[in-house]
Structure 1
Amino acid sequence: MNERVIMIVGPTCAGKTGVSIELARELGTEIISADSMQIYRDMDIGTEKPTQEQLAAVPHHMIDVVEPAEDFSAGEYLRTVSPIIKRLHDEGRVPVMAGGTGLYVRALTEGIFDGPDADWDLRAKLMEDSPEALYKKLAELDPETAREQDPSNVRRLVRALEVCINSGKKMSQLREESTKPLPYEFIKVGLYRDREELYPMIEERVDEMMERGLLEEVRGLARRGLSRTALQAIGYKELIAHLKGEYKLEEAVELIKRNTRRFAKRQYTWFRREEGLKWVDVTGSGTAEEAYEKVRKVLRDAGVL
């Protein structure tokens, strides 16, 4: 049997942080974050990083890894966490992963094709073409990849063309050559909360973030500069737009709430496609301990605990 990695996944506000800490305490292990925005230093309030108390209770990895002006790919994530997982296994411990970034989870369980570095000049040139022209060009260069693409998804079409042009190889060929999953047994648990409970929790969290100084955090980060990835973070992009005069503050806050609700829905959709994932309904669990008891039962029934 392969060595195990336990994954606690699900949408924002589902309670992943609290549950993963309870689990890591019981197992005497460490937590690896699977959140693509918590890797950025100083993006603290808007990404809802674990508190200093929580970080002191259980060692965490993949939090505060890079500067906000840097990009960080799923391939880099995979390369960084692989030795952490190996060390924990060598010590006889089962790593606990927690987060809502589906691409990070898939990078570990299925492997990922990282591809050449971004070529922003080429991207800008390609973006001048229509979606139809981009799709036709991709179909000529790499028919297999073209068949997998949404003809209206310009971002993905541009990336596929960028890879083909800069590498001189088909993206499908490169993906086949480089995509290898990690050799572990992944125990995947998804936390589910009913929408009627989750959405008010999201709105309350956004209000709390604003009270804790999210606007000031964003103002300081905007002066320093953010990477293209960090600029897409919910809570940051809306408040940056407010600072540019595009929205009133109240409008920006409502946009954050709306976009977070939509993001949670997309997270559910993504993880429902994740093979072998066991869903645990934590609706009504007012504390991390209550939610963990439900998760614990599922893990115990599966022979993990």
Structure 2
Amino acid sequence: MKFFDQENSSRSVAVVPVAGDTVTLTGTSGTANITVNGVAYLATFDTDFDETAEDFKVSHSVALGLRGINVAVVGSVKQVDTVSVTGASGTADIAAAGGLTKLLTFNSTLTLTCSDFVTANAAAYLAVGIVLTSSVADLIFTSVDAGGEFAHPTITNVSGDLAGTVANTTAPASLLVFSKKRSHIVTERVIVTIANVSGDLAGTVAGTFTPDFNIARVYQISISAATTIAKALNLRAGQSVRFEITATGAFAITWNAAYQFAGGTEHTQTSTALDILKGNYNAAADKVYLTLEAADVKA
């Protein structure tokens, strides 16, 4: 079903099936098949997610390129773990990075205790790929490399009451993004799946759709995976846009902050039906203001 209004009827209409085209890797070992538009390519875990993603790109970019598909490694996230130290006396063992164990000794305050530990051990942790810092009573462990992964730290009391808790603040991640080489043609999408082969290497698949107002301002979008609708390209003051969205299956939609919704609440997409959103670009605010024109429209 297609909807037009007088304002937009003369503009190009883009019919966009949005499938997953971004893979976030998970796991610590083994292999997985990443299938891109029907052809499987093997990913092998190597040290951390970033290395794994880079190895995949090096191994398969030529073969993918011959099929007109780009692969990029983007959006890498560093692992961050925090040890919150407690107590007022004694010592504790802190272990991280697969067995690197160092002694924490209380020194008048928890702030000094943590800063002393950093001074004494930062170089040793850096040598195994971890940046060690402190903030008041917290010891903060951060991977040097984006996508880098290390064993979560532990803290064990040795004497007195010095101890603490461990929070795994940020999990590491590396994203493999697949796109058609002629990516300016918005109807050309890449369909990607990932399946474990050995070990626990796996991943999640999502999609990103970036409207281009030079190509179209009426978008008939079908979504079947977790999808981010990115900030539109080639925005100009006063431009109007219309999204006609149908979502099925295990979908989820995240709108970029460049879209503002009436009432301040992001639109919740109806499942297995058509929702129509209409809006205009405000250059001063650098936002596209959207309102819901129709919801749950049945074919």
The answer, yes or no, to whether TM exceeds 0.5 is no
Place the TM-score, normalised by the shorter chain, in its bin: under 0.3
Structure number, greater radius of gyration: 2
Bigger RCO (CA 8 Å, 6+ sep) = 1
Between structures 1 and 2, the one with greater helix share:
1
State the TM-score, normalizing by the size of structure 1.
0.25
